[in-house]
C-alpha cells in the first residue's frame, strides 16, 4: 500500500451513522472517507468511475437489498477490493455468511470505535478480522469436526438468506424477483426451501417468521 491515506468507502442507508463513522475514520492519520452510498446501485456506479478505493465498509441491512448481495456484487466487479462488514446484526449469525459472500472481516456497531479502526487496518494488511469470540467459535468447529446441529436459519443458502431478509422487509415474490434480478419461479423455489428448512407450514407462517426475525435483528 502507498504512503498516502487509505481511501475508504461507506455503504450504509443511515446517513447519520455514515457521518459518525466518517468522522471517526477521518480523524486517523492514515485513512480517509472519500465516498458514501446507501445501496447496491450507488455502490457499483461509484466503483465504475472511481477505481482507487482501498476498502469498503458495508452494512448488512440496506434500503432494499441484503448487504450480502452488495458484497457479492463488489466481489464480482472488483475481486481484489477488500470489504469489511460493519453491522448491528449478530456476528454469530452473519459473519460466516459475509465471509462466504466475499467479505474480509466483520465488526458489530456496538463495538468501541477503536475496534473499527483496528479492523480496517487489519483488513488493509490482507488479514481477516473477526472478534476473538467468533475466531474461537470457527477454530473450535474446525478442530473438533463437530456435527452439532446449526441454528435452523444458518442452514439457508446465501440466496435463501437474502430472500428471507426481503420477505421480512415486506416485499412480495414479484418485488423480490425484480430486486434480485431473478425469475419469479426461482424466488418461489427459494421460498419453498426456506419453509422446509425452517419447518414453516405455509406462506403466512413464513411471512410472520421473516417479519419477526427482521424486527429482532434491527
Count Cα neighbours of 53 within 13 Å in the Cβ-side half-sphere: 29
Residue ranges of the chain that CATH labels 3.40.50.2300: 6-141
CATH 2.60.40.10 describes domain 6-141: no
pLDDT tens profile 135-152: 887 787 777 765 544 577
- pLDDT score, position 1: 45
Percent of the chain topping pLDDT 70: 94
DSSP E strand stretches across 98-141: 105-108
pLDDT tens profile 60-119: 877 767 788 899 999 998 999 999 999 887 787 788 889 988 999 999 998 999 999 999
> Which CATH architecture describes the domain 152-217?
Orthogonal Bundle (1.10)
Mean pLDDT over the full length of the chain: 88
**Of 168, 194, 163, nearest to 179 (Cα)?**
163
Diameter of the chain measured on Cα atoms: 58
pLDDT tens profile 148-206: 445 778 788 878 888 998 899 899 999 999 888 789 999 999 999 999 999 999 999 99
Give residues with Cβ within 8 angstroms of 75, minimum separation 6. Answer: 81, 83, 101, 102
Supply the DSSP string of 12-27, one letter for each residue. -S-HHHHHHHHHHHHT
Residue ranges of the chain that CATH labels 1.10.10.10: 152-217
3-class secondary-structure state, position 7? strand
pLDDT tens profile 158-170: 788 889 988 998 9
Amino acid at each position: 500500500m502507498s504512503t498516502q491515506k487509505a481511501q475508504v468507502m461507506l455503504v450504509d442507508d443511515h446517513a447519520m451513522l455514515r457521518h459518525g463513522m466518517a468522522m471517526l475514520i477521518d480523524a486517523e492519520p492514515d485513512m480517509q472517507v472519500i465516498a458514501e452510498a446507501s445501496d447496491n446501485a450507488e455502490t457499483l456506479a461509484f466503483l465504475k468511475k472511481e477505481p482507487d478505493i482501498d476498502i469498503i465498509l458495508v452494512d448488512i441491512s440496506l434500503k432494499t437489498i441484503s448487504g450480502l448481495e452488495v458484497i457479492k456484487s463488489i466481489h464480482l466487479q472488483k475481486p481484489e477490493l477488500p470489504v469489511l462488514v460493519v453491522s448491528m446484526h449478530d456476528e454469530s449469525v452473519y459473519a460466516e455468511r459475509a465471509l462466504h459472500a466475499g467479505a474480509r472481516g466483520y465488526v458489530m456497531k456496538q463495538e468501541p470505535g477503536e475496534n473499527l479502526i483496528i479492523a480496517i487496518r487489519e483488513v488493509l494488511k490482507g488479514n481477516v478480522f473477526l472478534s476473538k469470540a467468533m475466531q474461537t467459535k470457527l477454530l473450535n468447529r474446525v478442530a473438533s469436526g463437530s456435527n452439532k446441529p446449526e441454528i435452523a436459519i444458518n442452514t439457508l443458502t446465501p440466496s435463501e438468506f437474502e430472500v428471507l431478509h426481503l420477505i421480512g422487509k415486506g416485499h412480495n415474490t414479484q418485488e423480490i424477483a425484480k430486486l434480485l434480478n431473478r425469475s419469479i419461479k426461482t424466488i418461489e423455489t427459494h421460498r419453498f426451501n426456506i419453509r422446509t428448512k425452517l419447518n414453516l407450514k405455509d406462506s403466512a407462517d413464513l411471512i410472520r417468521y421473516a417479519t419477526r426475525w427482521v424486527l429482532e435483528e434491527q
